[in-house]
A and B are shown apart, each in its own frame.
Chain A
Amino acid sequence: MPYTYNTPAQQKEMLEAIGATSIDELFDSIPDNMKLGRALQIPSALGELELTSHMQELARQNSDITHNTCFLGAGSYDHFVPAVVDALASRGEFYTSYTPYQPEVSQGNLQVMFEYQTLICQLTGMDVSNASLYDGGSAAVEAMLMAINITRRNSRVVVLESVHPEYRQIISTYFATIGTEVVTVADSSQLPNVLDENTAAVLIQSPNFFGNIEDVAAIADQVHESGALLVCSVDPISLGLLKRPGDSGVDIVVAEGQSLGTPLLYGGPYLGIMACREEFVRRLPGRIAGQTVDQDGNRCWVLTLQTREQHIRREKATSNICTNQGLFALRAAIYLSVMGPQGMRDVADLCLQKAHYAQQQLTHLDRFETVSDLPFFKEFVIRDKQNDVAGLLEKAEDFNILAGVALGRWYPELEDCLLIAVTEKRTVHEIDQLVEVLGS
C-alpha cells in the first residue's frame, strides 16, 4: 500500500489554492452541535515497529482454517483455491482497478465480465448472466424484485423455509418497505395452498440450507401453473453433478459464488451470481458486458442494456445496485476455466462421496441420527440425542476441529441439530477424527 504524505506546507498550499484559511473551515457546513467538540479518545500513535507487533498480536487472536479442520458450511464453504487464481487476480491491472466509469476504455475488464457471464451461463444452463452482484443474499432479493417487475404482480412472494435464513431476512427487510407480503412455507408440498394469481415468485434453494436436493423440475411446473416465476438459489459447486437449473425450468438462478475461487475471508466480500432466461434480460439488474466489433471489424466488448441503469434512468432504474464484485467475478472466471467441466465434476463428486462417508460414520454412532431421508450433496444435518450441540462444538474445538454449525440459532425446533459440510479438502483421516471426537 502506498504511503501518501501530506505535509503542513502542502496543506497550506492546498488551502490557499481553494481560498480557505484552515482545514476546520472546510467543515463549516456541519452545525456545531453535531460536532464532537473534543479530541478522539484513542491511544497516541505507535512507531512502525510497535505497530507491527501490535497488529501481529491482534492477528494471533483470530481462529482460522489453516490451524483448524473446517466442517462449517451454511452458505460459505472451505473449497480449495488453486494458486493460479491468486496469481492472476492479484495482477495490478485487475487488482487495483476501480469500476470503469468509461467502461469501453477498459477492454480487459469488459472481456473478463463477458467471459465470466459466459461461464456462468454454461454452468447454470441459463441464457444470460449479469456481471455479478454483491453476494448470494442480495442476488436472491434482486431476483424477487425482478420477478415482481416481470409478472406485474406485487402482492405476494413465497419463500421456502429451507432457504438460507439470512437470505430470507434480507428479503423481509426489503419487502417490509415495498409492501409485498412474504409468505414462508415449510416445504414445497405446501405451495398449492399459497400460490395464487397475485403471487409473483417462489424462491427455493437447492441443495437447500440443510444440504438436501429439491425436486426443482416438479416445483417449477407447480409454480408456472400459477403464472409465477421460480427463483432458485444454487450451490455452484453442486452443478458439477446435479442437473442445471436452466434444464429444470428455473426462471432466475441466483447463487453465492464464494465457492468458486474465493476463500472464506471471515464472511465476505463474496460474489452474487444471477442469471435468467433471455426473455427477461431487460429486467436483469446490474451490468452486462456484450461482445461486438469495432469500426475495423475487430472483436471488442461494450456494456450493454445500460439504458435501464440508474445513471440514466434514476428512480426508474431496474435496480439501484449498479456495482458488481468485479474482482470476485474474475476469480470465479479463472476458477471455472481452470477446473473445466471435468474438474467441476471431480470436485462435486469428491464433496458428495466424502460428505456421505462422514454422514454414514456419524450416524453409525448411537449418539446421532439423521433427520431426513432426502438426498443430500455436501452438507447434512445430524441430531444429537443427548441435546448438547454447544458441548459437542466446544469439545471439537479443543481438537482444532470446527465441527459444524448449530441450527438452533435460526431454527429453535432444531436446537439439538448440527449442520456439517464436507468439501473436497477434507481427508478421510480428518473425517475419522471428527467422528472419533464427536463420538467420544
Chain B
Amino acid sequence: MNAEELLYCDTHEWVFVSEQDGQKIATVGISAFAVEQLTDLVYMELPAVGAAVTAGEEFGEVESVKAVSPLFSPVSGTVTEVNEGLPDNLDVLNTDPYEAGWIMKVNVSEELPESLLDHATYQRQCGEAS
C-alpha cells in the first residue's frame, strides 16, 4: 500500500478503506514513524476476530523494550481478520509497515471519523513532534 494514500490517526495508526462486495473494509496498521519511535518491538497483542472495535478506542497493544503502548482503532466496526503471523515476526513492521505489517481488517459500521489525517498533514505533525 502506498503510504501517501492512507489516512492516519494522531495516535499513529494508519487505515485504508476499500469496498468489497458492497461492504466497507478497513485495513489498519501502525505508521513507520510509530515503529521508529517505539524502537525494538518485542510483542503485539491482536484483537479477536469478531470483536467490536470503536474509533478512538483501544483494540490491542504493542510492546517494545521501552514501553507498552495501546493501539487505537481509526474506525468503528467488527474485526473480520487479523494478521496472525505478525506477533511472531514483528521485524516486518520495520521493513514493510504499510503492506505486510497490516494488523487487522474491520468491517466498517460507521462513517469514518473526521479527525483522520491525510498523509501530508500527518507527516507535518510527526515532523513537529520529533
Residue numbers of A with Cβ under 8 A of B are: 152, 282, 307-308, 312-313, 316
B64 proximity list for chain A (CB < 8 A): 307
Query: Which residues on A sit within 8 Å (CB–CB) of B65?
Result: 307
Contacts of A152 in B (CB 8 A): 48
What is the CB-to-nearest-CB distance from A307 to chain B, in angstroms, rounded to a whole number?
A: 5
For the complex formed, measure the closest distance between the CB of B51 and the CB atoms of chain A, giving whole angstroms: 8
Q: How far is the CB of B119 from chain A (nearest CB, A)?
A: 30
Bound complex: CA A316 to CA B70 (Å): 10
Chain A nearest CB from B27 CB (Å) reads: 23
Q: How far is the CA of A308 from the CA of B67 in the complex (A)?
A: 8
* Chain B min CB distance to A368 (Å): 54
Give Cα A279 to B66, complex, Å. Answer: 21
Q: Which residues of A contact B81 (CB under 8 A)?
A: none
Report the separation of the CA atoms of residues A277 and B42 in the bound assembly, to the nearest whole angstrom: 19
**What are 9 A-B pairs at a CB distance below 8 A?**
A152-B48, A282-B63, A307-B68, A308-B63, A312-B67, A312-B68, A313-B67, A313-B68, A316-B68
CB distance from B40 to the nearest CB of A (A): 11
- Which 7 residue pairs of A and B lie closest in terms of their CB atoms, listed nearest first? A307-B68, A307-B67, A308-B68, A307-B63, A313-B68, A312-B67, A282-B43
Q: B-side interface residues toward A, CB under 8 Å?
A: 43, 45, 48, 63-68, 70
Other 12 A-B pairs with CB < 8 A, given A282-B43, A312-B67: A282-B45, A282-B63, A307-B63, A307-B64, A307-B65, A307-B66, A308-B63, A308-B68, A312-B68, A313-B67, A313-B68, A316-B70
Shortest C-beta distance, A190 to chain B (Å), equals 29
In this complex, the member of A282, A307, A312, A313 whose beta carbon has the largest number of chain B beta carbons within 10 angstroms is A307
Q: Which residues of B contact A282 (CB under 8 A)?
A: 43, 45, 63
Residues on B with beta carbons closer than 8 Å to the beta carbon of A313:
67-68
Chain A residues near B70 (CB, 8 Å)?
316
* A123 → chain B closest CB, angstroms: 28
CA distance A152 to B46 in the complex (A): 13
For B67, the closest partner residue in chain A by CB is A307
Cα of A224 to Cα of B44 in the assembled complex, Å: 24
Using Cβ atoms and an 8 Å threshold, which residues of chain A touch B67? 307, 312-313
User: For the complex, what is the distance from the CA of A307 to the CA of B48, rounded to whole Å?
Assistant: 23
* B42, chain A: closest CB distance, angstroms: 9
Q: In this complex, what residue of B is CB-closest to A317?
A: B68
* C-alpha spacing A61/B98, complex, angstroms: 74
The residues of B that contact A307 with a CB separation of less than 8 Å are: 63-68
In the complex, which residues of chain A have a beta carbon less than 8 angstroms from the beta carbon of B66? 307
| Least CB distance, B38 to chain A, in whole angstroms | 11
The CA of A313 and the CA of B68, in the complex, are separated in Å by: 7
Cα-based distance from A191 to B66 in the complex (angstroms): 42
A440 CB → nearest B CB, Å: 64
In the complex, how many angstroms separate the beta carbon of B87 from the nearest chain A beta carbon?
Answer: 11
Q: Which B residue's beta carbon lies closest to that of A283? A: B45
Residue of B with least CB distance to A312: B67
Which residues on A sit within 8 Å (CB–CB) of B68? 307-308, 312-313, 316
Residue of B nearest to A309 (CB): B68
Q: How far is the CB of A18 from chain B (nearest CB, A)?
A: 37
> A367 to B65, alpha carbons, bound, how many Å?
65
In the assembled complex, the CB of A104 is this many whole angstroms from the nearest CB of chain B, namely 14
A308 to B45, CA, bound (A): 13
Expressed in whole angstroms, the Cα–Cα distance for A316 and B48 within the complex equals: 20
CA distance A307 to B66 in the complex (A): 7
| Nearest Cβ on chain B to A227's Cβ, whole angstroms | 12
In the complex, what's the smallest C-beta–C-beta distance from A186 to chain B, in angstroms?
34
Q: Shortest beta-carbon distance, A198 to chain B, in Å?
A: 14
Cα separation A307 to B69 with both chains bound (whole Å): 10
Measured between alpha carbons, how far is A316 from B64 in the docked complex, in Å? 16
CB distance from B98 to the nearest CB of A (A): 26
Rounded to whole Å, the gap between the CB of B45 and the closest CB of chain A is 8
In the assembly, what is the distance between CA of A308 and CA of B42, in Å? Answer: 13
CA distance A312 to B67 in the complex (A): 7
Contacts of B48 in A (CB 8 A): 152
- Among B43, B63, B67, B68, the most chain A Cβ lie within 10 Å of the Cβ of B68
For residue B45, which residues in chain A have a CB less than 8 angstroms away from its CB? 282
Name the CB-closest residue of A to B64. A307
Point out the residues of chain A lying under 8 angstroms from B43, CB to CB: 282
In the complex, A389 Cα to B45 Cα: how many Å?
55
Q: What's the nearest-Cβ distance from chain B to residue A151, in Å?
A: 11
**Closest chain A CB from B25 CB (angstroms):** 24
Shortest distance between the CB of A319 and any CB in chain B (Å): 14
CA distance A308 to B68 in the complex (A): 7
Q: Please name all residues of chain B whose beta carbon is closer than 8 Å to the beta carbon of A308 when the two chains form the complex.
A: 63, 68
Q: How far is the CB of B107 from chain A (nearest CB, A)?
A: 20
Q: What is the CA–CA distance of A312 and B68 in the complex, to the nearest angstrom?
A: 9
B20 to chain A, nearest CB (A): 28
Taking CB as reference atom, which chain B residue is nearest A313? B68
Q: Residue of A at shortest CB range from B58?
A: A316
Report B-chain residues with C-beta under 8 Å of the C-beta of A316: 68, 70
CB distance from B3 to the nearest CB of A (A): 28
Chain A: CB-nearest residue to B47: A152
Q: Give Cα A74–Cα B69 distance, bound, in whole angstroms.
A: 43
Bound form: Cα–Cα A256–B68 in Å? 31
Q: How far is the CA of A156 from the CA of B73 in the complex (A)?
A: 27
The chain A residue sitting closest to B48, CB to CB, is A152
